[in-house]
């Protein structure tokens, strides 16, 4: 949440800051700002409410050729989205941008009598606190930042500059990501490596409790306790094409359509179809350790949580003597849950930065339980802190609503389940059908997207004015329906909720009337007849049903989307594509911002 950028070098700082903020806009987009400092110590602070485009207009009218600066795109926590609450915040001669939450800001504020507060933010308190140690340049900026951070409770990624030192930026992190881009005669800062793509391929990922003094040709990293750190320079693998729309109108549609390819990346080198087996190197568990697993805790938020739920349904189908508990990270972190012997935790996160998921990871690790990451963002905090992991490798996901990550998270977790089953000696005749279908999925995903795309666009137009939707499924189609409802609500603002079909009679059936439409998932299989009976019950009460099925279906519902595919076990994955497209086209029909839905952000780095 919130994006941070910074620049020091020989080029125009404003240019990098604006282009970097645009790349990070998915992290928050209610206001933004930059400050640059000229060689003769004059700062230009420019801030604007709303999207980066508003800031860009203002900057265009105030062009400067400064070579150092910092910038920020905000997702409001303390104080409404407004220009005065936008970062950078100023205190004396220093300017600060902050990502995270200063939990003890009220107590700290009381001690900062000399500063006249201009905003309602916790971040300005931090700026004033730094200034109280900097004392107008009497002490080194880095020392002042360290003194201030030692008093702070909460999370932060910060970048600070001073009019007095127009050659250095001080950055630090605790709980919120910060990446330093190592350039030629320039050093760049970003809260996410995507802002650095095209500028440099070399990056240093700062760790919690580290602070760095950044100049155009030097980077000095230390801990808050002044111990020197020899920072590792890593390669940024992302290329420019991966973070551009590539001819699509929206990132969301691009990312939905990319799924045949992104899933192939997840599978690459990991399947042996002839043997019906799976090989994952990343988790780093021996056969013996895999055999001993009795309990899986799957932790995630939002879409990652739904992926965990769906994977759990699959894994228990073929893995003997195992219990699976999929949990919402923000809940689990405060529960007094008993973790039984033989547990392993799967930590699921596209961004690898979600604050609640990260907190669970740390707590679970503290209890001595092995943690395995199911992460997309390479080099992210979760990826670096887990004991082992399986990257999903779907490439950058930029639209706030997660799509391609979901599909690959489910399959990556199922593959992890298959490795446990293999180690436990489950017959390959049981596992092979799963492996075979997984191998076929990329092509079947491509076909399903192609076959259903136009029809779904038409259907979405018909239902665009409904304010309420009920998504229904049983078994593996139930978590799928939860994910579908989340997609619709987060981008098209339809009050969409999912229920297990069997729960209808226990409450939700009372809702059925002309204000609602129902999206029913009807996969072929053991529960088909029961699902049909449930749909009859909705029909009898005047429901407006869209059925999505991969088999014969002849009930008189309003619309049927039939998926033609030999995929059976993973049919819900194909149905989810239809739900993704449905949410996309509904949002387009309503004229809303597809990639940046109101009030949300992609990377939720505050709790
Ligand atoms: C936010 C995003 C969702 C995502 C969730 C968890 O809410 O908008 O798309 O599913 O965070 O994010 P993670 O990066 O941990 O998967």
Residues 374 and 350: beta-carbon distance below 8 Å: no
Residue 144 Cβ contacting ligand 1 at under 6 Å: no
Query: What average pLDDT does the segment 280-286 reach?
Result: 92
Q: Which residues partner with 545 through β-bridges?
A: 518
| 3-state DSSP assignment of residue 295 | strand
Residue 509 Cβ contacting ligand 1 at under 6 Å: no
CA of 496 to the centre of ligand 1 (A): 18
Q: Which residues partner with 300 through β-bridges?
A: 328
Residues 414 and 265: beta-carbon distance below 8 Å: no
pTM above 0.85, yes or no: yes
Residue 357 Cβ contacting ligand 1 at under 6 Å: yes
Tokens, residue 389? 């992991």
pLDDT category of residue 372 using cuts at 50, 70 and 90: very high
The CA-CA-CA angle for residues 407, 409, 413, to 5°, reads: 120
Residues 480 and 307: beta-carbon distance below 8 Å: no
β-strands 295-300, 323-328: how paired?
Answer: parallel
- Of the candidates 352, 285, 353, 298, the residue with the CA atom closest to the CA atom of residue 329: 298
Residue 538 Cβ contacting ligand 1 at under 6 Å: no
Query: What average pLDDT does the segment 252-279 reach?
Result: 96
Residue nearest to atom 10 of ligand 1 (CA): 303
For position 330, what pLDDT does the model report? 97
Interval 528-559: pLDDT, tens: 999 999 999 999 999 999 999 999 999 999 99
For position 541, what pLDDT does the model report? 95
Tokens, residue 131? 């200034």
Query: What average pLDDT does the segment 298-310 reach?
Result: 98
Q: Measured between alpha carbons, how far is 178 from 288 in angstroms, rounded to an integer?
A: 38
Q: Which residues are catalytic?
A: 2, 602
Q: Measured between alpha carbons, how far is 441 from 131 in angstroms, rounded to an integer?
A: 57
Ligand 1 atom, smallest distance to 354 CA: 15
Residue nearest to atom 15 of ligand 1 (CA): 349
Residues 268 and 393: beta-carbon distance below 8 Å: yes
Q: What is the 3-state secondary structure (H, E, C) of 526-570?
A: CCHHHHHHHHHHHHCCCCCEEEEECCCCCCCCCEEEECCCCCCCC
Ligand 1 atom, smallest distance to 382 CA: 15
Query: What average pLDDT does the segment 365-380 reach?
Result: 95
pLDDT category of residue 320 using cuts at 50, 70 and 90: confident
Query: What average pLDDT does the segment 356-383 reach?
Result: 95
Q: Measured between alpha carbons, how far is 6 from 37 in angstroms, rounded to an integer?
A: 12
Q: Mean pLDDT for the chain?
A: 96
For position 123, what pLDDT does the model report? 95
For position 341, what pLDDT does the model report? 96
Confidence check: pLDDT of 27 > 80: no
Ligand 1 atom, smallest distance to 601 CA: 8
Interval 178-229: pLDDT, tens: 999 999 999 999 998 999 999 999 999 999 999 999 999 999 999 999 999 9
Tokens, residue 556? 């008189």
Interval 34-64: pLDDT, tens: 999 999 999 999 999 999 999 999 999 999 9
CA of 302 to the centre of ligand 1 (A): 5
Q: Measured between alpha carbons, how far is 157 from 178 in angstroms, rounded to an integer?
A: 6
Interval 233-250: pLDDT, tens: 999 988 888 888 989 999
* Residue 399 Cα distances to 77, 111, 490, angstroms: 21, 41, 11
For position 181, what pLDDT does the model report? 97
Dihedral of alpha carbons 95, 99, 101, 102, sign? negative
For position 374, what pLDDT does the model report? 98
Residue nearest to atom 8 of ligand 1 (CA): 602
- Of the candidates 443, 445, 418, 444, the residue with the CA atom closest to the CA atom of residue 432: 418
Interval 117-172: pLDDT, tens: 999 999 999 999 999 999 999 999 999 999 999 999 999 999 999 999 999 999 99
Exposed, middle or buried, 179 (CB in 10 Å: 0-12/13-18/19+)?
buried
Query: What average pLDDT does the segment 448-459 reach?
Result: 98
CA of 304 to the centre of ligand 1 (A): 7
Peptide bond into 88 cis (omega under 30): yes
Q: What is the number of residues in the chain? A: 607
Where does 416-510 show beta strands of DSSP type E?
A: 468-473, 495-500
pLDDT category of residue 451 using cuts at 50, 70 and 90: very high
For position 605, what pLDDT does the model report? 83
For position 573, what pLDDT does the model report? 98
For position 29, what pLDDT does the model report? 84
Interval 384-412: pLDDT, tens: 999 999 999 999 999 999 999 999 999 99
Residue nearest to atom 2 of ligand 1 (CA): 602
| Burial state string for 323-333 with b = 16 or more CB within 10 A and e = fewer than 16 | ebbbbbbbebb
Confidence check: pLDDT of 477 > 90: yes
Residues 87 and 593: beta-carbon distance below 8 Å: no
Other residues' Cβ atoms within 10 Å of the Cβ of residue 521: 28
pLDDT category of residue 78 using cuts at 50, 70 and 90: confident
Confidence check: pLDDT of 254 > 80: yes
Interval 502-533: pLDDT, tens: 999 999 999 999 999 999 999 999 999 999 99
What domains lie within the chain, and their CATH numbers? Answer: 3-243 (3.60.20.10), 245-426 (3.40.50.10490), 449-595 (3.40.50.10490)
């Amino acid at each position: 949440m919130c994006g941070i950028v910074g620049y020091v070098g020989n080029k125009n700082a404003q240019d990098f800051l604006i282009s970097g903020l645009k790349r990070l806009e998915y992290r928050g987009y209610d206001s933004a700002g930059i400050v640059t400092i000229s060689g003769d110590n004059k700062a230009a602070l420019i801030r604007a409410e709303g999207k980066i485009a508003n800031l860009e207009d203002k900057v265009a009218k105030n062009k400067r050729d400064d070579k150092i600066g910092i910038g920020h795109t905000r997702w409001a926590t303390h104080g409404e989205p407004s220009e005065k609450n936008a970062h950078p915040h100023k205190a004396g001669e220093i300017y600060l941008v902050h990502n995270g939450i200063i939990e003890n800001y009220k107590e700290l504020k009381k001690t900062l009598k000399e500063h006249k507060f201009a905003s309602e933010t916790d971040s300005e308190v931090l700026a004033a606190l730094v200034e109280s140690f900097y004392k107008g340049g009497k002490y080194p900026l880095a020392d002042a930042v360290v003194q201030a951070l030692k008093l702070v409770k909460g999370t932060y990624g910060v970048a600070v500059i001073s009019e007095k030192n127009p050659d250095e930026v001080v950055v630090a992190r605790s709980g919120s990501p910060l990446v330093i881009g190592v350039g030629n005669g320039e050093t760049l800062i970003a809260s996410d490596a995507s802002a650095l793509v095209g500028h440099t391929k070399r990056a240093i990922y700062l760790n919690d409790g580290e602070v760095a003094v950044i100049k155009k040709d030097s980077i000095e990293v230390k801990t808050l306790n002044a111990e020197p750190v020899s920072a590792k320079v890593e390669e940024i693998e992302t290329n420019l094409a991966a973070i551009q729309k590539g001819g699509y109108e929206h990132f969301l549609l691009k990312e939905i359509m990319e799924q045949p390819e992104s899933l192939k990346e997840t599978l690459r080198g990991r399947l042996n179809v002839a043997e019906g087996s799976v090989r994952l190197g990343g988790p780093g568990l021996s056969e013996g350790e895999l055999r001993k697993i009795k309990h899986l805790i799957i932790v995630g938020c939002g879409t990652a949580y739904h992926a965990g739920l769906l994977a759990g349904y699959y894994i228990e189908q073929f893995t003997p003597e195992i219990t699976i508990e999929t949990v919402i990270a923000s809940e689990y972190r405060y529960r007094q849950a008993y973790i039984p012997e033989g547990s392993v935790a799967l930590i699921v996160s596209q961004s690898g930065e979600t604050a609640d998921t990260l907190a669970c990871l740390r707590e679970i690790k503290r209890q001595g339980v092995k943690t395995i990451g199911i992460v997309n963002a390479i080099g992210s905090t979760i990826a670096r802190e887990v004991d082992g992991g399986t990257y999903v490798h779907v490439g950058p996901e930029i639209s706030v609503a997660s799509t391609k990550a979901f599909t690959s998270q489910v399959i990556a977790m199922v593959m992890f389940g298959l490795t446990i089953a293999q180690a436990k000696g489950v017959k390959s005749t049981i596992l092979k059908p799963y492996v075979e279908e997984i191998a076929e999925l990329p092509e079947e995903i491509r076909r399903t997207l192609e076959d259903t795309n136009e029809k779904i666009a038409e259907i979405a137009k018909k239902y665009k004015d409904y304010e309420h939707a009920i998504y229904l499924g049983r078994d593996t189609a139930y978590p799928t329906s939860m994910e579908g409802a989340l997609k619709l609500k987060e981008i098209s603002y339809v009050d969409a909720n999912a229920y297990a079909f069997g729960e209808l009679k226990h409450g939700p059936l009372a809702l059925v009337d002309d204000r609602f439409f129902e999206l029913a998932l009807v996969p072929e299989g053991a529960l088909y007849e029961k699902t049909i009976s449930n749909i009859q019950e909705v029909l009898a009460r005047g429901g407006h049903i869209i059925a999505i099925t991969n088999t014969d279906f002849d009930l008189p519902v309003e619309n049927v989307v039939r998926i033609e595919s030999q995929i059976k076990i993973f049919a819900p994955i194909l149905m989810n594509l239809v739900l993704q497209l449905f949410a996309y086209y509904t949002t387009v029909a309503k004229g809303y911002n597809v990639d940046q839905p109101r009030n949300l952000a992609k990377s939720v780095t505050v709790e």
